[in-house]
Amino acid sequence: MNDESQPTPEHVTAEIMTQGLMRREEVCARLGIGDDVLEVCLQWEIIQLPEPDPQGTLLFPDDVFDRLQRGLRLHHDLGINWQGVSVALELLERIEELEQQVHHLSIQHHESSDF
């Protein structure tokens, strides 16, 4: 039996650490965009530039994909410029946060009125 096919503990650890993360090329490929569009999104802070890993590779978290996808739809479908997309995404996220707060307060109020 050949043990060379088994991953080393270091290899397994590296795979676990990178789950949920994508390289720049993967982000572009999944969204069907060029690197230039990703660069514009970074410039307008639609997404934040991640810190490089120890090897110097930029690894984007999965939530970047959803935010970029929303931004691309705003830009392409509604014709909003990139600066507007950045503002719109911030406002949409703030609305979602406020809706969650209202929901939690509603639950607390409902529970307290049961007594």
Give the domain extent around 21: 3-113
pTM for the model: 0.72
Helix axes 35-43, 62-78, angle to 10 degrees: 90
Q: How many domains does the chain have?
A: 1
What local confidence, expressed as pLDDT, does residue 16 receive? Answer: 41
Which residues make beta-bridge pairs with 22? 60
CA-based end-to-end distance of the chain: 67
H helix runs in the chain, sequence order: 9-18, 24-31, 35-43, 62-78, 82-113
Residue among 44, 110, 31 nearest 80 (CA): 44
What local confidence, expressed as pLDDT, does residue 13 receive? Answer: 41
What local confidence, expressed as pLDDT, does residue 109 receive? Answer: 86
Q: For the domain that residue 36 is a member of, what is the CATH number? A: 1.10.1660.10
Burial class (CB in 10 A: 0-12, 13-18, 19+), 64: buried
Predicted confidence pLDDT, tens digits, the chain (115 residues) = 555 555 555 544 444 445 689 999 999 999 999 999 999 999 999 999 998 888 999 999 988 999 999 999 999 999 999 999 999 999 999 999 999 999 999 999 888 876 6
